Amino acid sequence: MKKKMNSAAILVILCLLGIGYLIPTVIMAVEDRSLQMEKKAIEIDEIQLSSQNVDTIEMLGFFPDMLMNYIVVDVGEGIQEDYMESVQSGSNEMEQNNSTSLQKNVQEFLLMLNAKEEIVFEKFYATNYAMMVEVNDDRVCSVWECVGVDAGENEYIFWVYDGTGKVMAFDVPYNVIGYMDEGFYSAMDRVMEYYEISDYGFPAYQYIDTQTNLYKTKYWQNGLLLLDKEGYEKLCIHIYKTGDRLLFNNYPGTVSISDGS
């Protein structure tokens, strides 16, 4: 009899212990379920990039660094046309219009550099990029990288600022401007007219150095100094010859954006 009573007592104790462990578990499960059903509104600060227009002279000033360092994102698959073949019938009409406009824009600029004969592109590529002005500057500029290829497979690269449609930098075969020193200086005079620098308060400009034998010298650098009305330098636009290439407002070693991404 005593054995039965002891067994019953042990059973009661075990049941109480089980209930003691079970109750917190049930309470936690109910609380978890309640939390799962609860909806909370969480506010997230909106992050927005500011796409802004920048005037031509300011853009010329910071463009080489922007081109070298601060690509944000490729904002489109780009445009490609091969003028040796017919354009595909499925091409987007807007892309064709953009391509035609950009191709015309850069070919007119190229003709201005040469001022003698038009160079016809057999192939033309254009890609649009959003690019940050500086690391701590939230302004973003839309830039087109345009690459033209002539019948001799020579490549011509132009970077066009979408805000103004102006060419901000280029990398072209040097022989575009001819083989005489006068050809270079005349071309740069026309480029300054193209940027209408007098409208921005720069009545004069001068070169860092006066150079000779430009075509025969494989590597050199120069710069155009833009002067204000008091004759103080406000901007220097760098120019380089590297081998058989003429670079304007972009550093040597700056490759095509698409090649470097």
Smallest CA-to-CA distance from 151 within 116, 175, 113, 124 is with 124
For 220-239, b where at least 16 C-beta lie within 10 A, e where not — what string?
eebbbbbbeeeeeeebebbb
Distances (CA, A) of 108 to 14, 62, 197, 210: 95, 24, 19, 28
pLDDT at res. 95:
54
pLDDT at res. 224:
95
Residues 211-232: what's their mean pLDDT? Answer: 92
Which pTM does this prediction carry? Answer: 0.72
pLDDT at res. 149:
95
Smallest CA-to-CA distance from 171 within 94, 58, 250 is with 250
> In angstroms, rounded to a whole number, what is the distance separating the alpha carbons of residues 126 and 104?
12
Find all residues with CB under 8 Å of 44, minimum gap 6, and list them: none
pLDDT at res. 88:
36
pLDDT at res. 131:
83
DSSP state of 163: T
Q: Which residues face 223 on adjacent strands?
A: 238
Q: How many CB atoms lie within 10 A of CB 241?
A: 20
Smallest CA-to-CA distance from 146 within 129, 164, 130 is with 129
pLDDT at res. 115:
79
Per-residue pLDDT for 187 more than 60?
yes
pLDDT at res. 105:
93
Residue with tokens 């910071």: 62
